[in-house]
Amino acid sequence: MPILDTPYASLDLIRQPEQPNEPLQAFDAADEYLLAQLHEQGLPAATRVLILNDSFGALACSLAAHVAVTSSGDSHLGHLALQKNLAHELPAERVRFVPASEVAQGPFDRVLIRVPKTLALLEEQLIRLHGQLAPGAQVIAAAMIKHLPRAAGDLLEQYIGPVQASLAVKKARLLSATPCAKPAPQSPYPTRYQLDQPKLELLNHANLFCREGLDIGTRAFLPHLPQALGALRVADLGCGNGVLGIVYALGNPQAELTLVDESYMAVQSARENWQAIHGQRPVEIRAGDGLAEQPPASLDLVLCNPPFHQQQVVGDFLAWRMFTQAKAALAKGGELWIVGNRHLGYHLKLKRLFGNAEQVAATPKFVILRSIKA
């Protein structure tokens, strides 16, 4: 794998989840450009640095030996990558990690931002910087040009101050914002939307997929959730705001639910929604690498609306991994129920893995499939 070689460090970095013969690297030209710019400007040892959305820890691992680093992001997989990559080079305590569901406490002299795919996350992060910047602080956002919408610069201007765009280098660009005095902003997040059937209101923090309304795959899945099956141990895998697990629990009062997502803001949303709808009913809601930490044969049913991308990378490797984790976590006779786009051909993957795949229902765009562990 390529080495990240910068004035600060030479690093052999891994991504999460790890794949055999990993086709992608854990850093890009935007990371290199940002680190080169920092070195050119000079970074005194007393500098307090906040890094936002450092996908696999490339920035934090590069700077941790030189300055005080706080890293914040919404990906549990990103946090795992940071921990593993730090372990190769430095003590893990060299970097303080703050989930995106919490506010990183400053003051900070430099804020380094990898522009996220979801601009609502960027907006919420910029809003939270109010009052956290030291005098003379600088905010620098970096992205590959193909992933840098004009709106990112507009948000920096709105919440931080005047923005200067760099020249392009290796198809990457930096946006440098100079903080100026602004009134305390009001966050538009979390948002809420209503379900028609059942009648529920669901809350969604900034980085939630389909934050403004129920996604169409879940909408297709909800009418076909299994009902009244007794005291089963059930997981909502990739739970998002918790809608599948919450609705399933309404129809299955004896079930024991576990809701898992790799997004800290998803887990925060699911936890708040569960409490609003189910009150003190026992539940486990956690950020995790899917069901990697679930004991073998400890579940009777897994519900899943799998993702088909990780950040800007599209593919089915995450879905396949979730299906494999589900099989390991299911007891004999346990069932995996999923919804997916017809064209993704998940039935073939499930047949290969479980030896069976039954179509429970279908719409013109989606299929609901069930596989049973033999």
What is the tens place of the pLDDT at every residue in 177-236? Answer: 999 999 999 999 999 999 998 999 999 999 998 888 899 999 999 999 998 788 999 999
The confidence score (pLDDT) of residue 229 equals 82
Average pLDDT, the chain: 93
Q: Of residues 311 and 117, which shows the higher confidence score? A: 117
- Is residue 188 reached through a cis peptide bond, with omega within 30 degrees of 0 on the bond before it? no
Domain end: 155, 177, 199, which one? 177
Mean pLDDT of 307-334: 80
| pLDDT, tens digit (0-9, with 9 covering 90-100), for 48-67 | 999 999 999 999 999 999 99
Is there a single domain that holds both residue 213 and residue 349?
A: yes
Q: Where are the alpha helices (DSSP H) in the chain?
A: 29-41, 58-63, 76-89, 119-128, 150-159, 216-221, 243-251, 264-278, 317-329, 346-354
CA-based angle 40:52:125, to the nearest 5? 125
Is there a single domain that holds both residue 207 and residue 165?
A: no
311 pLDDT more than 90: no
Is there a single domain that holds both residue 156 and residue 22?
A: yes
Q: What percent of the chain has pLDDT over 90?
A: 85
Mean pLDDT of 312-323: 73
Q: Which two tokens stand for residue 177?
A: 């914002």
Sequence-ordered list of residues with C-beta below 8 angstroms from that of 235, at least 6 positions apart, any chain: 245, 257, 258, 259, 260, 291, 294, 299, 301, 302, 303, 326, 329
User: Do the domain assignments include residue 101?
Assistant: yes
Is there a single domain that holds both residue 214 and residue 250?
A: yes
Q: Which two tokens stand for residue 4?
A: 């990240």
Is there a single domain that holds both residue 231 and residue 140?
A: no
The confidence score (pLDDT) of residue 335 equals 97
Is there a single domain that holds both residue 87 and residue 236?
A: no
User: Do the domain assignments include residue 284?
Assistant: yes
Is there a single domain that holds both residue 311 and residue 361?
A: yes
Domain end: 153, 177, 201, which one? 177
Is there a single domain that holds both residue 206 and residue 86?
A: no
Mean pLDDT of 77-91: 87
Domain residues for the domain of 160 are 4-177
Q: How many domains in the chain?
A: 2
315 confidence band (pLDDT: 50, 70, 90): low
23 pLDDT more than 80: no
313 confidence band (pLDDT: 50, 70, 90): very low
Helix, strand, or coil (residue 307): coil
User: Do the domain assignments include residue 120?
Assistant: yes
The confidence score (pLDDT) of residue 314 equals 47
Short-list 146, 148, 145, CA closest to 156: 148
Mean pLDDT of 85-97: 82
Give the CATH number, domain containing residue 32: 3.40.50.150
Helix, strand, or coil (residue 31): helix
The confidence score (pLDDT) of residue 310 equals 47
User: Do the domain assignments include residue 348?
Assistant: yes
User: Do the domain assignments include residue 122?
Assistant: yes
- Is residue 107 reached through a cis peptide bond, with omega within 30 degrees of 0 on the bond before it? yes
Domain end: 177, 207, 234, which one? 177
308 confidence band (pLDDT: 50, 70, 90): low
User: Do the domain assignments include residue 183?
Assistant: no
Let me know: does 51 contact 72? Beta carbons within 8 Å.
yes
Q: pTM of the prediction?
A: 0.94
237 confidence band (pLDDT: 50, 70, 90): very high
DSSP secondary structure letter of residue 241: T
Is there a single domain that holds both residue 152 and residue 259?
A: no
Is there a single domain that holds both residue 151 and residue 225?
A: no
User: Do the domain assignments include residue 172?
Assistant: yes
Is there a single domain that holds both residue 196 and residue 156?
A: no
State whether the Cα torsion 13-17-18-24 is positive or negative. negative
Mean pLDDT of 280-294: 96
User: Do the domain assignments include residue 48?
Assistant: yes
Is there a single domain that holds both residue 223 and residue 317?
A: yes
